[in-house]
């Protein structure tokens, strides 16, 4: 009878230890992933703001201008794609489509140094 009790207690202890080890490993993994994301975000922030400031200006649209051509000319370096910048232009100017018209004005974001 005592050996059954001892075996059961040993099994419960083994299961408890496995649970503790599993939870500990999950906590360590989550901590590592969280720190990795924080370091990556901090590094990108330093790179994008070290030499340039973002400014806004209004440009008069000419015949033949497209959001793509405007984006190619004014897109700051911290954007990963022209499409991302076009989406920003649309948000800034309240545009619901890609249609723009000559002799109207479009607000654009650009980067320049302080000096």
DSSP string of 74-106, one letter each residue = H--TT-S-HHHHHHHHHHHHT-SSS---TT-EE
DSSP state of 19: H
Q: What is the pTM of this model?
A: 0.52
So what CATH class is 51-112? alpha beta
pLDDT of residue 1: 63
3-state helix, strand, coil in the chain (%, to 5): 60, 15, 25
pLDDT in tens, 51-93: 677 888 899 999 999 999 999 988 888 888 999 999 999 998 9
Contact at 8 Å (CB) between 57 and 107?
yes
Contact at 8 Å (CB) between 74 and 108?
yes
Q: For residue 101, what are its two tokens?
A: 């018209």
- Strand partners of residue 108: 57
């Amino acid at each position: 009878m005592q050996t059954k009790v001892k075996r059961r207690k040993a099994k419960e202890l083994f299961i408890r230890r496995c649970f503790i080890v599993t939870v500990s490993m999950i906590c360590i993994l989550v901590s590592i992933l969280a720190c990795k994301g924080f370091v990556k975000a901090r590094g990108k922030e330093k790179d994008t703001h070290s030499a340039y400031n973002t400014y806004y200006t209004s440009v008069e649209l000419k015949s033949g201008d497209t959001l793509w051509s405007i984006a190619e000319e004014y897109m700051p370096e911290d954007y990963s794609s022209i499409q991302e910048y076009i989406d920003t232009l649309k948000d800034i100017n309240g545009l619901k489509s890609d249609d723009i018209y000559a002799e109207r004005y479009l607000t654009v974001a650009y980067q320049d140094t302080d000096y």
